Amino acid sequence: MLTRRFCGLCSSSASRRISARAQITECNIDGPLRNCVTTANEARAVRVRFAPSPTGFLHLGGLRTALYNFLFARQHGGTFILRLEDTDRSRLVPVAAQDIQDQLEWAGIPPDEGGTKGGGFGPYIQSQRIGLYASAAAALLESGHAYHCFCTNQRLELLKKEALRSGQTPRYDNRCRSLHPDQVEEKLSSGVPSVVRFRLSSSSEPFEDLVFGFTQHAVGQVEGDPVILKADGFPTYHLACVVDDWHMQVSHVLRGSEWLISTCKHLQLYRALGWTPPTFAHLPLLLNKDGTKLSKRQGDIFIQHFRQQGALPEALLDMVTHCGSGFHSNRVGRRLQDLISEFNVSKISSHSALLDLDKLPEFNRVHLQHRLEDEVLCRPLVEELRDLISQCFRDQIEDQDLLQKDYLHRILQLRKGHISSVKDLITPVYLYLWLRPSVSRQQLEEMSSESPEIISRVIQVLQEEEGDVYTVEDLNDKLKLVSKNLKKTKYSTLMKILRLALSGQQQGPGVGEIMVMLGRREVCCRLQKLLNV
């Protein structure tokens, strides 16, 4: 078995010859061009494509495959293409094409070519490229590599049933291969419906996959000849992807590993058409916890679903790469730039990975913190919070100052590292930040008869210290001093009284933090109200 692996940029036979002459048994696949024996001139321009079918919305599995293509293109100064494979007309979902483009934009990995971007190799939608597939099929018919098949669905069903009954894998028996040209002509001219099938060779077509290494599969020995052009004139995936990858000058095909076996078929097509194939890298799949492949039939893994829930794009990208491979090390908090610089095709393992969605809040928390620490990125979060608060509590807010940017900014800064999403701040535990709690004086007196005195003293301390910096440490020191002068109330009880008075809750952030978040004026106002009732 051949174990030598190439970086994928020197996989042409010319550069392999150079490798052999230089007695290099393995090129350094740890890095981009500079580490490879291939010189810049010999290397092909890197062109990769993400080619989803618009039969459903973009999901996390598709996003990861798109991301790996994007990272590979960015690392090698290449082009990232989006091509929509809409040849399965029966499964088309009308808004899916738009959704795929929107979600890639939102995730920060928009295509350089394709979709609304356009480019010099378009159209980038397969249904608009029918002529190219028809001429490729015609060329294959002409050279004898393909043939018309007139078998009815009924016959194919029967073949399938018989195979299953005898415990065999169903396969087409290649019957129409042996039709005489006159018979073919006669059927075609009398309008008998037909498809075009590719004549599989019984030999295997070995290739070096950048992830799976040396691969070969004598597909012709186990499968019947595949349909390449359907009766409606649309191509099947096999023909369409080969034709498009060649016409679009795709240098590297990075796609899900479910296509690994089909690649042997595709290589036979390349050979029959006289075209040089691209380099292949089959990517491990993202799996659900039950081991099934993430699929468009599951609504809860769509990107738009996470987006609506408040997920940050960088958190999703970080998470889908974290539960996979392709990096020297795994750490939470990688941003797109880090992913680009740390990505390494040779580190992609061939094992599929389980997606653990329970980890998303943690990824989001870390990336939200990054954004909050950046002045520019923090601004829209303040706006988002203001909109949320206005929508949820507009009529109930007693103090409109709570909608001021300074206040919202302070809350976000003090809660960063604790919240996973801005939306967390409108959950009941943070209600006190926007609405004054309804706490009675009696509730406080049940905790300590000294409650009124405590509240007066705290108000006094806060008013005396008008000019001081209002920090958690400072406040804690002052509250300790207040407690020292009390006869019946311990420091811990004093804190409980203040927590209840200010937030209406028995648990939550530290009392000092609550006071800093609310601000001196609001704290005094809430405490004063309790003395007045």
Q: How far is the CB of 116 from ligand ATP (least distance, A)?
A: 18
Task: Tell me which DSSP letter residue 94 carries.
Answer: T
| Binding residue (CB under 6 A) for ligand ATP from 5, 44, 47, 64 | 64
Kind of pairing, strands 79-82 and 47-50?
parallel
Stretch that binds ligand ATP, among 133-141, 167-175, 254-262, 425-433 (CB under 6 A): 254-262
> In sequence order, what DSSP letters do the residues of 184-228 get, joined into one string?
HHHHHHTT---EEEE---SS---EEETTTEEE---HHHHSPPPEE
- Name which of 255 and 415 has its Cβ closer to ligand ATP: 255
Backbone φ and ψ for 293, nearest 5 degrees, come out as: -70, 140
Closest CA to 475 of 446, 517, 504, 445: 517
Stretch that binds ligand ATP, among 31-39, 219-227, 282-290, 481-489 (CB under 6 A): 282-290
Stretch that binds ligand ATP, among 16-24, 167-175, 279-287, 431-439 (CB under 6 A): 279-287
- Name which of 97 and 311 has its Cβ closer to ligand ATP: 97
Q: Compute how many other C-beta atoms are within 10 angstroms of the C-beta atom of residue 108.
A: 13
Q: Does 111 bind ligand ATP (CB under 6 A)?
A: no
Q: Does 463 bind ligand ATP (CB under 6 A)?
A: no
Give the contact letters, 417-456, x = binds to ligand ATP (CB under 6 A), - = no.
----------------------------------------
Task: Tell me which DSSP letter residue 398 carries.
Answer: S
CA–CA separation, 221 and 212 (whole Å): 22
Q: Does 114 bind ligand ATP (CB under 6 A)?
A: no
Q: Does 242 bind ligand ATP (CB under 6 A)?
A: no
Residue pair 231/197 in contact by the 8 Å Cβ criterion: no
| Binding residue (CB under 6 A) for ligand ATP from 294, 345, 455, 501 | 294
Q: Does 361 bind ligand ATP (CB under 6 A)?
A: no
* Per-residue tokens: 272: 């029959």
* Per-residue tokens: 49: 């494509």
Q: Does 279 bind ligand ATP (CB under 6 A)?
A: no
Backbone φ and ψ for 208, nearest 5 degrees, come out as: -105, 105
Stretch that binds ligand ATP, among 151-159, 287-295, 400-408, 488-496 (CB under 6 A): 287-295
- Name which of 127 and 505 has its Cβ closer to ligand ATP: 127
* Burial zone of 7 (CB within 10 Å; 0-12 exposed, 13-18 middle, 19+ buried): buried
Q: How far is the CB of 396 from ligand ATP (least distance, A)?
A: 44
Closest CA to 49 of 210, 250, 247: 250
| Binding residue (CB under 6 A) for ligand ATP from 186, 232, 258, 398 | 258
Listed in sequence order, the residues at least 6 apart from 170 whose beta carbon sits closer than 8 Å to its beta carbon are 159, 160, 163, 164
Give the contact letters, 202-241, x = binds to ligand ATP (CB under 6 A), - = no.
----------------------------------------
Residue pair 223/200 in contact by the 8 Å Cβ criterion: yes
Q: Does 345 bind ligand ATP (CB under 6 A)?
A: no
Stretch that binds ligand ATP, among 52-60, 115-123, 333-341, 493-501 (CB under 6 A): 52-60
Per rule CB under 6 A, count of chain residues that contact ligand ATP: 18
| Binding residue (CB under 6 A) for ligand ATP from 8, 56, 111, 509 | 56
Stretch that binds ligand ATP, among 8-16, 24-32, 59-67, 384-392 (CB under 6 A): 59-67
| Binding residue (CB under 6 A) for ligand ATP from 241, 286, 319, 494 | 286
Closest CA to 226 of 206, 196, 184, 255: 196
CA–CA separation, 348 and 468 (whole Å): 56
Cα–chain center distance at 119? 24
- Name which of 19 and 215 has its Cβ closer to ligand ATP: 215
* Per-residue tokens: 356: 């653990």
Task: Tell me which DSSP letter residue 465 carries.
Answer: T
- Name which of 295 and 427 has its Cβ closer to ligand ATP: 295
| Binding residue (CB under 6 A) for ligand ATP from 32, 61, 111, 224 | 61
* Per-residue tokens: 231: 């009766």
Interacting residues toward ligand ATP by CB under 6 A: 52-53, 55-56, 61-62, 64-65, 255-256, 258, 283, 285-286, 293-296
